[in-house]
Amino acid sequence: SEALSKVKGCASGWVEFTCKYPKPNVKYQSIDVVTPKKTIRSFGKNVWENKGRVSLYHDTRNKKLRVAIKQLQHEDFGDYQCKFHQRSYSSQDTEEMKLGVETDGCQKQFIQTAYRTAKTTITCDYTGNKYKFFCKDNGFICEDILSTKSCLKSKGTFTLTETNSSFSVSISNVSSHDAGVYRCGVETHEGSYRAALTKIQLEVEATITKVTKFLTVGQNLTYWCRYPNGAPINKIICKGEDPSICETLVSTAQRNKNTGKFSMKEDKNKRNVTITVREVTTDDTGTYWCGVKSTDKTGSNKFFHKLVMTVASLTSTTTPASSSQSTTVSAERPGDSQFIITVLVIVGVVLLLLVLILILIYK
């Protein structure tokens, strides 16, 4: 029996660990996995065998048994043994594991709403130094999208960003195909186990109202945004390309909501919020989201209205026009001036000849 290996998983997450062959040169016929509750036997070779929440894969090529446990429950935490049998059950070699509870970065399901063609960022809290991965659930397994184990930091519309206290994955130009269940997870550097920390249900909203406004500096803008029945109380205006991490500028929960550049007036009967933006400047150019603040930690804020505002200063609108005019003028000029110079040269030469002829005649 080898030294006890430690494996850690999150309650209601999943974990996958391996039991290596205790003796690499032995051909094992079957393997028993003794869990804290019961014993499960693997007879198969190089196929997944599903035994309820536990799945086993006897990998004869890499000489190991993969053990995957879904929806971890309290009864799953404890001691595990992999008993490797040769032909006769009398002789067996044993590997032992301890499955403990992960405390870093575990979170229950989070529901995030994303909007078609916009960006969305899924944030995973984790401070440890294991490899981090991001995968999408296909109903059977969680297919890897990106991992810090490889140096590839983006794939298609997905980009992974790592900081000291978290890692996040952004999806740009979200489409309806991106909806589904994703997981953030960690993997030990030696590959002894992989564990899912967080489950994220991504919902993609296609029916958001989109408005584009072109304004000049100093103008006021008034627009309104309607919200559905039963929406949370606190309405917000948020600025940024990415609504999942945008900056809240004003909310109806603020006491002095009618001061400052942005103000909101709510008509609860019509489920209508009127927003006034006072005396815009070029810094106000950007994307604004109108929606509701989430009331709990299991879901993201929801938005119903997207405004793309472009503010131009009066001088900068006239400059490109006049410069394009002057370029068209100067583009015509070379031909004209060449013609004039040619005419002048010919006239000059003719005059000079006339003067010479006159001088010759009068001499």
What is the DSSP code (8-state) at residue 4?
P
Nearer CB in complex with ligand NAG: 241/267: 267
- Whole-number minimum distance, CB 189 to ligand NAG, in Å? 17
Q: How far is the CB of 300 from ligand NAG (least distance, A)?
A: 21
- Nearest residue (CB) to ligand NAG, 175 versus 282: 175
**Nearest distance, CB of residue 274 and ligand NAG, angstroms:** 4
Q: Minimum Å distance from CB 264 to ligand NAG? A: 11
Positive or negative CA dihedral for 5, 126, 196, 172?
negative
Question: In terms of CB distance, is 154 or 326 closer to ligand NAG?
Answer: 154
Least distance from ligand NAG to the Cβ atom of residue 156, Å: 11
Whose Cβ is closer to ligand NAG: residue 228's or residue 335's? 228
DSSP per position, 107-167: ---EEEEEETTS-EEEEEE--S-SEEEEEEE-SSSEEEEEETTSS--EETTEEEEE-SSEE
Which DSSP string do the residues of 290-347 spell out, in sequence order? EEE--SSTTB--EEEEEEEEEEE-HHHHHHHHHHHHHHHHHHHHHHHHHHHHHHHHHH
The secondary structure element, H or E, covering residue 360 is: helix 314-362
Q: Are strands 193-205 and 110-115 parallel, antiparallel or unpaired?
A: parallel
Looking at the Cβ atoms of 118 and 146, the one nearer to ligand NAG is: 118
Q: How far is the CB of 145 from ligand NAG (least distance, A)?
A: 17
Nearer to ligand NAG, 226 or 257 (CB): 226
- The residue ranges that bind ligand NAG (CB under 6 A) are 164, 173, 175, 218-220, 224, 226, 267, 270, 272, 274, 278-279
Q: Which of 314, 287, 306 is nearest to 215 (CA)?
A: 314
